[in-house]
Amino acid sequence: MKKKMITLVSLIAAFIMMFTLAGCNKDKPADVSAANANKEKTTVVSPVKNDKKDKDDYKEILAGLKAGSAYAYADIGKEHKVLLVTDAPMEFDGKLEAARATVYGYDKNGNVKNYGSIESTSTSMPLMANGSYIYFGSHHSMSRARVDEQNSKLIVETAKEGDKKYDSFFNGYADGNIVKFTAVKKDAAKEKEVTNEEMEFISPDGWRVRYDAKSIAATEVDKHTAQFVYQGEAAGTCMAEIKYIADKQPEEVLYDVTSEWGDQSKIQRSEGTFPGTDDKLGYWRVLPDNGKGSRLSMTAIATEYNDGVLLAVETFHSSGKDEIDMAASDALAEVIDSITFKNFKEQKMHSYVAGTYKAADKDAKYTSVILKKDYTGVLTDSKGKKHEITWGSTELKAKDGNFTYSYTIEGDNLYLQLDNDGDWIEYAK
Q: What percent of the chain has pLDDT over 70?
A: 84
CA distance 191 to 201: 16
Is pLDDT above 70 for 39? no
CA distance 291 to 266: 13
- What is the pLDDT, as a whole number, of residue 19? 36
Name 392's Cβ contacts closer than 8 Å, sequence gap at least 6: 18, 19, 20, 21, 271, 281, 375
- Of 76-80, 205-209, 324-328, least confident by mean pLDDT is 76-80
Q: Where are the domains of the chain?
A: 28-183, 189-341, 355-428
pLDDT digits 0-9 by tens, 83-118: 999 988 888 777 889 999 999 988 888 888 889 899
Q: Distance of CA 83 to CAs 46, 111, 114, 117, 322, Å?
A: 11, 13, 10, 11, 16
36: Cα separation from own chain's centroid: 20
DSSP letter at 166 equals: H
pLDDT band at 429 (very low <50, low <70, confident <90, very high): very high
Tell me if 161 sits within 8 A of 140, measured CB to CB.
Answer: yes
pLDDT band at 216 (very low <50, low <70, confident <90, very high): very high
CA distance 300 to 316: 12
- What is the pLDDT, as a whole number, of residue 1? 39
CA distance 148 to 100: 20
pLDDT digits 0-9 by tens, 281-328: 899 999 998 788 779 999 999 999 999 999 999 999 999 888 899 999
Q: With 0.95 as the threshold, say if the pTM is over it.
A: no
Amino acid at 164: K
Maximum Cα–Cα distance across the chain: 66
CA distance 16 to 277: 8
Closest CA to 126 of 163, 82, 92: 92
- What is the pLDDT, as a whole number, of residue 402? 86
| Structural class in CATH, domain 189-341 | mainly beta
pLDDT band at 259 (very low <50, low <70, confident <90, very high): very high
Is pLDDT above 70 for 384? yes
Greater confidence, 336 or 121? 336
pLDDT digits 0-9 by tens, 239-253: 999 999 999 999 999
Q: What percent of the chain has pLDDT over 90?
A: 49
Is pLDDT above 70 for 7? no
Output the CA torsion 209→2→123→50 (10° steps). -90
Edge-to-edge strands of the sheet including 177-178? 153-160, 141-148, 133-137, 128-130, 177-178
Tell me if 273 sits within 8 A of 282, measured CB to CB.
Answer: yes
Tell me if 50 sits within 8 A of 73, measured CB to CB.
Answer: yes
Mean pLDDT in the chain? 82
Return the CA Rg of the chain. 21
CA distance 81 to 77: 6
pLDDT digits 0-9 by tens, 139-161: 789 999 999 888 889 999 999 98
- What is the pLDDT, as a whole number, of residue 247? 92
Q: Distance of CA 96 to CAs 72, 183, 190, 351, Å?
A: 10, 8, 24, 27
**355-428 domain in CATH 2.40.128?**
yes
DSSP letter at 421 equals: T
Tell me if 321 sits within 8 A of 329, measured CB to CB.
Answer: no
Is pLDDT above 70 for 14? no
